[in-house]
Amino acid sequence: MKLALEYKLSDTNLDVAQTSQQRQLSISISAITESPSGRNVPLNLCLILDHSGSMKGRPLETVKQAACELVQQLSVGDRLSIVAFDHRAKLLLPTKVIDSPEAAGGPGGICEKIKRLEAEGGTAIDEGLKLGIEQMAVGKSGAISQILLLTDGENEHGSNDRCLKLAGVAASYNLTVNTLGFGDHWNQDVLEKIADLGAGTLAYIPRPEAAIAEFSRLFERIQTIGLTNAHLIITPAAHVRLAELKPIAQVLPETIELTAKQEGNQLVVRLGDLMNGNPRIILANLYVAQLPTGEQQIVQLQVRYDDPAHQREGIVSPTVPVYATIQTNYQSQPNSEVQQHVLALAKYRQTQIAEAKLKSGDRTGAATMLQSAAKTALQMGDQEAATVLQKNATQLQAGEALSESQRKQTRMVSKTTLQ
């Protein structure tokens, strides 16, 4: 695997007469495969499945079916562990190396263990996550480590703060945590934060019959991972600074607010896994002080990452300098692609404000912000998001509350561009 690192500025030209100018820097980072044969690194996968009483009946049956179908797609040499939790956590399958294509089925096979699960008890997500992380540590060497955590409810017997701390622990061990919210009664703030801290993705399963498709979608995404534990390193020039409030975010493949850590004169941002053919697009908000005319370097970019195929860690890419042209007769040269990324971030942030207003009881303010988000979605050509956001805004304006399903849909369309 090789690394691709490219950038675009919202406008490469700057006005020599201005003392401070704002620019958005769009950074594209992905893995490039050197082999057309697909994934050549073992997968270290842990399924953490909620089997609490609220999953009784069709929900748990479809989750078990989805889990079995996913297990059947694993390759010889992959590593799998399965944790089930209600108000306690239990190890359904200790870390196991898949030693044959038949490992999933047959008497005593993995799927048989999954099918024995029955719905009972309450919900303690943190207990399941803790046990899953412990199992992941067993099989993480030289592998792509992924957790799929599914729940349908609130963490009534556990601690949400502990969940977030555990997600941070997982990230520090180079384990990616993906969360799947099943039905309409899970806490979208908590599951999103777990996924964001764990450098994973949040998925929504609105109906039992959608479980197989969502498991399959996440597994296909995992199959494209080539490089892991990626960190973006931004070195601003002396005359450049990042915005103080929310300076950096990811906008593709989904929108995530990122945290930059200061290390000397560098800003370091953890990105997690890098996929082949599906770049992570990062948007940084820069302020550039007054500069002399001509081409001037304003930022340097590097990526530090691991290559599990060759068991190499801490590889640092060559430096990519970012230049701007300082003009006496300034002529704006906006980049339409960067503008799309700016709109994607605006859609997410406008929706976040709407949700905050709704929680505080300000339906009118929430409706106004959802309308703004719908207009932003239309500007970027995201018709599905615009439809969902405008419909919900209209419902609030009519004095009607949003259902849990509508709130979940709002969050998902704010984070992604649905196809």
The single-letter code of the amino acid at 120 is E
Going by their DSSP bridges, the two strands 13-15 and 225-236 should be labelled as unpaired
- Helix (H, G, I), strand (E, B), or coil: what is residue 314? strand
Q: Distance between CA atoms of 400 and 402, rounded to whole angstroms?
A: 7
What are the distances in angstroms from CA 386 to CA 63, 250, 251?
A: 31, 20, 17
Q: In the CATH scheme, what is the code of domain 43-223? A: 3.40.50.410
Q: What is the pLDDT of residue 35?
A: 66
Bridge partners (DSSP) listed for residue 263: 266
Going by their DSSP bridges, the two strands 312-316 and 294-307 should be labelled as antiparallel
Q: What is the pLDDT of residue 403?
A: 96
Q: What is the pLDDT of residue 419?
A: 44
Smallest Cα–Cα separation from 24: which of 285, 295, 211? Answer: 285
- From first to last of its 419 residues, the chain has per-residue pLDDT tens of 799 999 999 999 999 999 999 999 999 999 998 766 667 899 999 999 999 999 999 999 999 999 999 999 999 999 999 999 999 999 999 999 999 988 888 677 899 999 999 999 999 999 999 999 999 999 998 899 999 999 999 999 999 999 999 999 999 999 999 999 999 999 999 999 999 999 999 999 999 999 999 999 999 999 999 999 999 999 999 999 999 999 999 999 999 999 999 999 999 999 999 999 899 999 999 999 999 999 999 999 999 999 999 989 999 999 999 999 999 999 999 999 999 999 999 999 999 999 999 999 999 999 999 999 999 999 999 999 999 999 999 999 999 999 999 999 999 999 987 54
Query: Residue 108's CB: how many other CB atoms inside 10 A?
Result: 7
pTM: 0.95
Q: What is the pLDDT of residues 41-75, one digit of tens each?
A: 999 999 999 999 999 999 999 999 999 999 999 99
Q: Distance between CA atoms of 197 and 74, rounded to whole angstroms?
A: 26
Q: Distance between CA atoms of 102 and 76, rounded to whole angstroms?
A: 10
Smallest Cα–Cα separation from 418: which of 388, 379, 373? Answer: 388
Specify whether the CB–CB gap between 31 and 5 falls below 8 A.
Answer: no
Q: What is the pLDDT of residue 104?
A: 83
Record the tokens describing residue 332, joined without a space. 């704006």
Extents of the domains making up the chain = 2-36+227-334, 43-223, 337-415
E strands, 276-361, in order: 280-289, 294-307, 312-316, 320-327
Specify whether the CB–CB gap between 91 and 81 falls below 8 A.
Answer: yes
Which DSSP symbol is given to 11?
B
Q: In the CATH scheme, what is the code of domain 2-36+227-334? A: 2.60.40.3670
- Helix (H, G, I), strand (E, B), or coil: what is residue 322? strand
